[in-house]
Amino acid sequence: MVQAKFWVMTKHFDGFPKNSDFELKVEELPEPKDGEVLLEAVFLSVDPYMRPFSRVSMKEGDVMIGTQVAKVIQSKNPAFPVGSHVVSDSGWRTHTLSDGTGLTPILPEWPKDVSLSLALGAIGMPGLTAVYGIEDVLGLKEGETLLVNAAAGAVGSVVGQIAKIKGCKVVGSAGSDAKVVFLKELGFDEVFNYKTVGSLEEALRKASPEGYDCFFENVGGSSSFIVLQQMKNFGRIAVCGSISTYNDSEPQTGPYPYVIMIIKELKMEGFLITRWQHKHPETLRRLLAWVKEVSYLVFMMLDDFL
Ligand SMILES: NC(=O)C1=CN([C@@H]2O[C@H](COP(=O)(O)OP(=O)(O)OC[C@H]3O[C@@H](n4cnc5c(N)ncnc54)[C@H](OP(=O)(O)O)[C@@H]3O)[C@@H](O)[C@H]2O)C=CC1
Ligand SMILES: CCCCC/C=C\CC(=O)/C=C/C=C/C=C/[C@@H](O)CCCC(=O)O
């Protein structure tokens, strides 16, 4: 018997989520039966999608949705031995009984010195989103200029690094000076703090006077309209997220983008990571290889430094 703690959403969110919308509950879980495993959460994620998805995919009283990295602590399923780790959509729970459905084992080649928390970040759902947005939606090509907002976030920070690997100029916007410093360290070419620049239009123009071939949109809202005006003709926009609108109780209205899209002949496509589920295993391997490469370079630099 193990005692599981879990957070339920007691009330649908109205505006910004409040502590009182959640309740911590406890239950006793039985021993696993044949084919089952008992999981213990190691890392939980809190992702922006939870806010809009909770409205359509959850009822009040449901366990809060979410992905976790979990350790198998008891097993009656040979596919998941005790001590191994999996990624699981168990939600916000400390312990979960599972029959193995939907569990993804951590890649066997995962290096010991890379935190398993990255399975919820750069080598997980956010990293996959970055790859599909860049390759399958934008079709980003060497030498192009890409703009990404919420650039220091889980998705944006990977977007910028992959675009650099692909030989592009990368411009990022973020909401603090510390994030600006971080993104420069990651290799972004131009970064600005959108909260302090005064004019977003001027900041975009200064960062890339010739405009933008591609825009990886994470934020939405009225700032997007200003970005569209800075796109090059035939520019492409991947609409990945709209985080600035998720807590709105009333939908925002205008400005409307159609005329500028027509004049510049822009292409805009929304997407959900789930479209490319069949490619996840291969893409996760590529992301892991990139992370290993970056860690190796950091160690080389540290070696030189010391
Ligand atoms: N389409 C898909 O399949 C997927 C889409 N997404 C989307 O990608 C976007 C980024 O996700 P992810 O990188 O995981 O997010 P993170 O939680 O890592 O980062 C979110 C960042 O967004 C910025 N932000 C800008 N405006 C707001 C606002 N009004 N309220 C709160 N935050 C704001 C903040 O950074 P700052 O300080 O710089 O403003 C914040 O830190 C989201 O819109 C998400 O929904 C994510 C995964 C899959
Ligand atoms: C239903 C309204 C959707 C509006 C668009 C919102 C956000 C875009 C976005 O952030 C999408 C993220 C998708 C994430 C998918 C995650 C799955 O791999 C795991 C789901 C976990 C769970 O259900 O427990």
Domain co-membership, 174 together with 222: yes
Domain co-membership, 135 together with 263: yes
Ligand 1, atom 15, lies closest to the CA of: 153
9 inside domain: yes
What's the burial of 76, exposed, middle or buried (CB within 10 Å: 0-12/13-18/19+)?
middle
294 inside domain: no
**d(C-alpha 267, C-alpha 269), whole Å:** 7
CATH of the domain at 134: 3.40.50.720
pLDDT at 294: 81
Domain co-membership, 9 together with 96: yes
* Nearest by Cα to 43 from 117, 125, 108, 104: 117
Written as one letter, the residue type at 210 is: E
Note whether 237 and 268 are within 8 A (CB).
yes
What's the burial of 24, exposed, middle or buried (CB within 10 Å: 0-12/13-18/19+)?
exposed
SS3 193: strand
SS3 304: helix
ipTM over 0.90: yes
CATH of the domain at 74: 3.90.180.10
Domain co-membership, 38 together with 156: no
Domain co-membership, 23 together with 160: no
Q: Provide the domain count of the chain.
A: 2
Strand spans (E) along the chain:
2-9, 22-29, 37-44, 68-75, 85-88, 95-98, 104-105, 145-148, 169-174, 190-193, 212-217, 231-239, 267-270
- Domain of residue 157 covers 125-273
Note whether 106 and 124 are within 8 A (CB).
no
If one residue of 56, 98, 243, 272 were mutated to test the ligand 2 pocket, choosing by the most ligand atoms within 8 A of its CB, it would be 272
Query: What pTM was computed for the model?
Result: 0.96
What's the burial of 69, exposed, middle or buried (CB within 10 Å: 0-12/13-18/19+)?
buried
Domain co-membership, 154 together with 246: yes
pLDDT at 296: 60
Domain co-membership, 149 together with 224: yes
**d(C-alpha 77, C-alpha 81), whole Å:** 7
CA-based torsion, 67, 73, 77, 81: positive or negative: positive
**d(C-alpha 303, C-alpha 306), whole Å:** 5
If one residue of 44, 137, 155 were mutated to test the ligand 1 pocket, choosing by the most ligand atoms within 8 A of its CB, it would be 155
131 inside domain: yes
pLDDT at 298: 58
Alpha helices in the chain (DSSP H): 50-57, 125-132, 154-165, 177-186, 200-207, 223-228, 258-264, 280-305
298 inside domain: no
What's the burial of 257, exposed, middle or buried (CB within 10 Å: 0-12/13-18/19+)?
middle
pLDDT at 304: 57
pLDDT at 10: 98
Ligand 1, atom 37, lies closest to the CA of: 175
- pLDDT string in tens for the chain (306-residue length): 899 999 999 999 999 999 999 999 999 999 999 999 999 999 999 999 999 999 999 999 999 999 999 999 999 999 999 999 999 999 999 999 999 999 999 999 999 999 999 999 999 999 999 999 999 999 999 999 999 999 999 999 999 999 999 999 999 999 999 999 999 999 999 999 999 999 999 999 999 999 999 999 999 999 999 999 999 999 999 999 999 999 999 988 888 999 999 999 999 999 999 999 999 999 999 999 999 988 766 555 555 554
Residue 213's CB is within 10 A of a number of other CB atoms, namely 22
Domain co-membership, 158 together with 97: no
**d(C-alpha 227, C-alpha 15), whole Å:** 26
pLDDT at 199: 97
Backbone angles phi, psi at 59, to 5 degrees: -105, 155
- Alpha carbon of 115 to ligand 1 centroid (Å): 22
8 inside domain: yes
Say if strands 169-174 and 95-98 run parallel, antiparallel, or are unpaired.
unpaired
Q: What is the residue whose two structure tokens read 């405009």?
A: 211
- Alpha carbon of 239 to ligand 1 centroid (Å): 12
Our answer on whether the CB atom of 244 is closer than 6 Å to any ligand 1 atom is yes
Q: Quick one: tokens of 234? A: 């035939």
Domain co-membership, 207 together with 268: yes
Domain co-membership, 200 together with 249: yes
Domain co-membership, 243 together with 191: yes
